[in-house]
Structure 1
Amino acid sequence: MQIGIFTVGDVTADPTTGRTPTEHERIKAMVAIAQKAEEVGLDVFATGEHHNPPFVPSSPTTMLGWIAARTNRIILSTATTLITTNDPVKIAEDFAMLHHLADGRVDLMMGRGNTGPVYPWFGKDIRQGINLAIENYALLHRLWREDVVDWEGRFRTPLQGFTSTPRPLDDVPPFVWHGSIRSPEIAEQAAYYGDGFFANNIFWPKEHFQRLIGLYRERYAHYGHGTPEQAIVGVGGHIFMRRNSQDAVREYRPFFDHSPQMGGGPSLEQYMEQTPLTVGSPQEVIDKTLTFREHFGDYQRQLFNVDGVGVPLKTVLEQLDMLGEEVVPVLRKEFARNRPANVPDGPTHVALRDARDDRAESAGSAA
C-alpha cells in the first residue's frame, strides 16, 4: 500500500486570523509540505493542476522538478494532469524529462478538471471533454511506446514521423492513473489500457465510487489484464487531527464553515458521516480509513488532503508528523493483514521495469 498526500494548491484565507497567504508563500509552502512528507516516511506527494485563481499549481512539472531535486525517495505525482486541455505531445515530453530528473520517481493522474472555463482558455470545447480525454490519451500512450509516430485525429494537427524526446527512462513510461469522480467512460479508459484508476471520493458518498471502481475492476479483467482483484485502484481522503477529537473538531470547524467547497451545506458532522472527511484523533483516522478496504476492496494507493481551505503551514506540518508517526505505521500493518498474495503492490518505476524485463526473458525462453 502506498500512502501519501495530495494538494490542490488553493490560496485561501485563514478564517481564524483573516490572513491570506501570498501566491509566493503558498508555492513555497507546497514545497515544504512535500519535503516534510518524505521526512515522515510517506510514499507519495501529488499536486493538482489549475489555471485560475485562487489556485497556484499551473505548472506541475516545474514544481515537481524542484521538489525532485530536494528529495530522494518519495514518488512525485500529479493529482490531476489536464489531458483535455494540454497537448499530449507536451505532456509526453515534459513528464519524460521529469522522469529522468527524478530517477523514475514520477507518475501522473489524467483528469478533465472541474473548472469549465479552462477549456476555451486553451482553445478547447468543453462539450468535447470526454472525447478529448480519450483521443489525447490514445496519442500520449503511443508517444511513450513508439519511437516514431504517425497520427491523425479530430482535435490536433496530424503527426508524421514524429519522435517524442526524451524517451522515457529505461524505455518504461511513467505509470498513469486515470482520475474520476463521476464518469464511467474514464473508468472504462483506465481498464482498457490496464492503467490505474483513482477514485477521488472526497466529496460524494461511497456508493457512487463503489459503482465506478466496480466497473473499472470488471472491465480491467474483461480486457485481459488480470482478475478484478488485481486491478490498480487508488482512493482519496481528507483529514484533520488533534490528540483528541473534541479539539480537532473545534479547531477545524471554522475552516470547514468558510470553505468554498464544503461550507454552506451540510454540517461538519453530516459531511463526515457522508464522505471520507475525518476530523478527530489519529485513531479515528485509522478506523475510518480502514473501512475503505471494506467498501472498495484491496487497493494500492491512499492519498490524503491535509493542507487546503486555509489551514496554515505550521498546522499542516503538525498533521504530517501525526500522520507519519501514529497513523501510517498502523495503516500499513492493517492493510497488509489478510491481503491476498495475488493483489499487486503499488506501482513504482523499478517494479514496472523489472516486470518488463521478466516478460522479455520469458518470451525469449519460450522462443
Structure 2
Amino acid sequence: MQFGIFTVGDVTTDPTTGRTPTENERIKAMVAIALKAEEVGLDVFATGEHHNPPFVPSSPTTMLGYIAARTERLILSTSTTLITTNDPVKIAEDFAMLQHLADGRVDVMLGRGNTGPVYPWFGQDIRQGIPLAIENYALLHRLWREDVVDWQSRFRTPLQGFTSTPRPLDGVPPFVWHGSIRSPEIAEQAAYYGDGFFANNIFWPKDHFQRLIRLYRERYAHYGHGTPEQAIVGLGGQVFMRKNSQDAVREFRPYFDNAPVYGHGPSLEEFMAETPLAVGSPQEIIDRTLAFREHFGDYQRQLFLMDHAGLPLKTVLEQLDILGEEVVPVLRKELASGRPAQVPDAPTHQALLARRDAEAGEEPSVPAGSAS
C-alpha cells in the first residue's frame, strides 16, 4: 500500500491574513512539501498540470526532475498529465527522461483535466475530449513498447518509422494510472490496458465512485488481466488535522468557506457528510480513511490533498508531520491486516521489471541505477 500527497498547485489568498503568495513562493513551497513527504515516510508525491492562473504547475516533469535530484526514495508522479492536449510523443519522451534521472521512481497519471479553455489553447476541441484521451493514449502506449512506430490517426499528423528517445528505463515503461472524477470511458480504458485506475474521490459522494471502481474492476477481469480484486486502484482524499476535532474545524473553516473550488456553497459539515473530506483529530482521519476499504475494496494507493485553499506552508508542513507520525503508520498496519494474498501490491519500477523477467522466464534483472 502506498501513501502520499498530491497538489494542484493553486495560488490562493490566505483568508485569515489576506496575503497571496507569489508564484515563486508557491513553486518553492511545493518542492518543500515534496521533501517533507519523504522525510516523514510517505511514498508518493504527485503534482497536477495546469496552464492557467491561479495555478503554477504548467511543467510537471521540470518540477519532478528537480525533486528527483533532492530525494532518494520518493515515487514521483502526476495528478494529472493532460493526455488530451499534450502531444503523446512529448509525454513519452519527457517521462522516459524523468525515469532515467530518478532511477525508476516515476509513474504517471493521465487525465483530461478540469479546465475547458485549455483545449483551444493547445489547438484541440473540448467536445472531442474522450476520443482524444483514447487515441492519444493508444499512441503513447505503443511509443513506450515499440522501438519503431508507424502511426496514422484522426487527431495528429502521421508518424513513419519514429523512435521515441530515450527508451524507457530497463525497457519498462512508467506505470500508468488513468485518473477520473466522472467518466466511465476512462475506467474502461484503464481496464482494457490493465493499467491502474485512480478515482479522485474528493468532490462527489461515495456511491458515484463505487460505480466507477466496480466498472473498472469488472472490465479489468473481462479483458483477462486478473480477478476484479487484483485490479489496481488508487484513491484521492482531503484531510485537515489537529489534536482535537474542535480545533481542526475552527482552524480550517475560513479556508473551506473561501476556497475557490467549494467555498460559498455547502457548509463544511455538509461537505464532510457528502464527500470524503475529513477534518478532525488524527484518529478521526484514520477511521474515515479505513472506511474507504469497506466502500471500494482493497486498493493500492492513497493520496491526500493538503496544500490547497490558501493554507500557509507552515501549516501544511505541520499537517505532514501529523500524517507521517500518527496517521499513516496506523493505516499501513490496519490496511495490511486481513488483506487477501491475491491482492497485488502497488506497482513500482522494480516490481514491473521483475514481472517482465518472470513472464519471459529470465533471471531477475538488476534495475539501472540501483547501485547509485
TM bucket (normalised to shorter chain) is over 0.9
Deviations 1:165-209 (A, max 9, x none): 000000000000000011000000000000000000000000000
Q: How large is the Cα RMSD of the aligned pairs?
A: 0.8
Deviation of the 1:262 alpha carbon: 1.3
Aligned partner of residue 51 in structure 1, secondary structure: coil
Aligned partner of residue 253 in structure 1, secondary structure: helix
Cα distance in 2 for partners of 1:318, 1:29 equals 13
Deviation of the 1:264 alpha carbon: 1.4
Deviation of the 1:260 alpha carbon: 1.2
Task: Give the unaligned 5+ runs of structure 1.
Answer: none
- Alignment of 1:318 with 2:318, yes or no, is yes
Aligned partner of residue 307 in structure 1, secondary structure: coil
Cα distance in 1 for partners of 2:9, 2:25 equals 11
Cα distance in 2 for partners of 1:21, 1:129 equals 33
Aligned to 1:127: 127
Identity across matched positions, percent: 84
Deviations 1:229-284 (A, max 9, x none): 00000000000000000000000000000011111111101100111101100000
Q: TM-score, normalised by structure 2?
A: 0.97
The residue identity in structure 2 corresponding to 1:336 is A
Aligned to 2:368: none
- Alignment of 1:103 with 2:103, yes or no, is yes
- Alignment of 1:218 with 2:218, yes or no, is yes
Aligned to 1:291: 291
Aligned to 2:361: 361
Aligned to 2:331: 331
Equivalent residue runs for 1:72-87 within 5 Å: 72-87=72-87
Cα distance in 2 for partners of 1:180, 1:300 equals 16
Aligned to 1:193: 193
Cα distance in 2 for partners of 1:336, 1:98 equals 31
Aligned length: 363
Cα distance in 2 for partners of 1:205, 1:234 equals 16
The residue identity in structure 2 corresponding to 1:21 is P
Deviations 1:32-69 (A, max 9, x none): 00000000000000000000000000000000000000
**After the TM superposition, which parts of structure 1 deviate over 3 Å for at least 4 consecutive aligned residues?**
none
Aligned partner of residue 18 in structure 1, secondary structure: coil
Task: Give the unaligned 5+ runs of structure 2.
Answer: 364-372
Deviation of the 1:362 alpha carbon: 7.0
Aligned partner of residue 212 in structure 2, secondary structure: helix
Cα distance in 2 for partners of 1:359, 1:64 equals 31
Which stretch shifts more, 259-268 or 81-90?
259-268
The residue identity in structure 2 corresponding to 1:294 is E
- Alignment of 1:229 with 2:229, yes or no, is yes
Aligned to 1:270: 270
The residue identity in structure 1 corresponding to 2:329 is P
Q: TM-score, normalised by structure 1?
A: 0.98
